[in-house]
């Protein structure tokens, strides 16, 4: 099995960021949108300043004014922008200076044509829940994610935790996974043991070959 890229999202403090770095995750994510995990550009700037090099930094936005996204990304030194709202392919094109990931919330079926209209670096599949634009803690039918592979690099999200991550990765074989509320002790605070278990479970699959 190819290596699975790991993003840990919803980081709100330096201790959790450092623990994610220690575990060797590929990207750490900061949520600028309305959320129990919301952070300000200033908070993220302070956290990032204290991190070592070679860490990919992702910012999560929902239908934000594009100039505000660019300003925040520049100020914080973000590498990747993850868009969770109704952002259009044209909106994404204006962010060419960054790697863009667009989130697609999955209901009963996949919408590969709609996804393929986006010329972006990665396609994140998350669980649909009315009135929630992310961070639901719920999984969706992973059979649909398997079908999405032809569109481009798939990042699997939605309710991933230490207990279901092995099944999810084995089944979907995604390019990457995005772990958020499933490794928290309370909203915005990571549980160090859960985080460690998730990462170890993914690595174990890779070493098993
Ligand atoms: O976590 C949030 O509160 C959030 C709010 C608005 C947009 C995105 C958000 N999080 C993203 O949601 C998915 C799935 O999260 P979970 O594992 O189900 O908690 C993930 O990509 C987060 O980055």
- Domain ranges in the chain are 5-207
Atom of ligand 1 at shortest distance to CA of 161?
Answer: 17
What is the average pLDDT score of the chain?
96
Residue range 80-112, pLDDT digits in tens:
999 999 999 999 999 999 999 999 999 988 999
* Mean pLDDT (whole number) for 58-83: 98
Annotate the chain with three-state secondary structure. Answer: CCCCEEEECCCCCHHHHHHHHHCCCCEEEEECCCCCCECCHHHHHHHHHCCCCCCEEEEEECCCCHHHHHHHHHHHCCCEEEECCCCCHHHHHCCCCCEEEEEEEECCCCCHHHHHCCCCCEEEEEECECCECCCCCCCCCHHHHHHHHHHCCEEECCCCCCCCHHHHHHHHCCCEEEECHHHEEECCEECHHHHHHHHHHHHHHHHCC
For 5-207, CATH gives 3.20.20.70
pLDDT value at 147 more than 90: no
Q: What percent of the chain has pLDDT over 90?
A: 91
Q: What percent of the chain has pLDDT over 70?
A: 100
Is the model more confident about 133 or about 30?
30
Q: Is 79 a catalytic residue?
A: no
Q: Which of 16, 126, 178, 191 is catalytic?
A: 126
Atom of ligand 1 at shortest distance to CA of 155?
Answer: 21
pLDDT value at 120 more than 80: yes
pLDDT value at 167 more than 80: yes
Q: Is 126 a catalytic residue?
A: yes
pLDDT computed for residue 209 by the predictor: 65
pLDDT computed for residue 131 by the predictor: 85
């Amino acid at each position: 099995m190819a290596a699975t890229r790991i993003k840990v999202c919803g980081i709100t403090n330096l201790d959790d960021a450092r623990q994610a770095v220690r575990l060797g995750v590929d990207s750490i994510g900061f949520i600028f949108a309305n959320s129990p995990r919301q952070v300000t550009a200033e908070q993220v700037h302070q956290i990032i300043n204290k991190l070592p090099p070679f860490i990919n930094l992702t910012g999560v936005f929902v239908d934000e004014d594009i100039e505000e996204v660019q300003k925040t990304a520049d100020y914080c030194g973000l590498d990747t922008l993850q868009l969770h709202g109704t952002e259009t392919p044209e909106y994404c094109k204006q962010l060419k200076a960054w790697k863009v990931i667009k989130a697609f919330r999955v209901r009963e079926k996949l919408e590969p044509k709609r996804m393929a209209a986006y010329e972006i670096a990665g396609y994140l599949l998350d669980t649909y829940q009315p009135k929630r634009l992310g961070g639901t803690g719920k999984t969706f039918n992973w059979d649909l994610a398997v079908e999405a592979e032809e569109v481009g690099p798939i990042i699997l999200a939605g309710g991933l935790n230490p207990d279901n991550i092995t099944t999810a990765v084995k089944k979907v074989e995604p390019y990457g996974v995005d772990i958020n509320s499933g490794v928290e002790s309370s909203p915005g605070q990571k549980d160090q043991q859960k985080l460690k278990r998730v990462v170890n479970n993914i690595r174990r699959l890779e070493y098993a070959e």
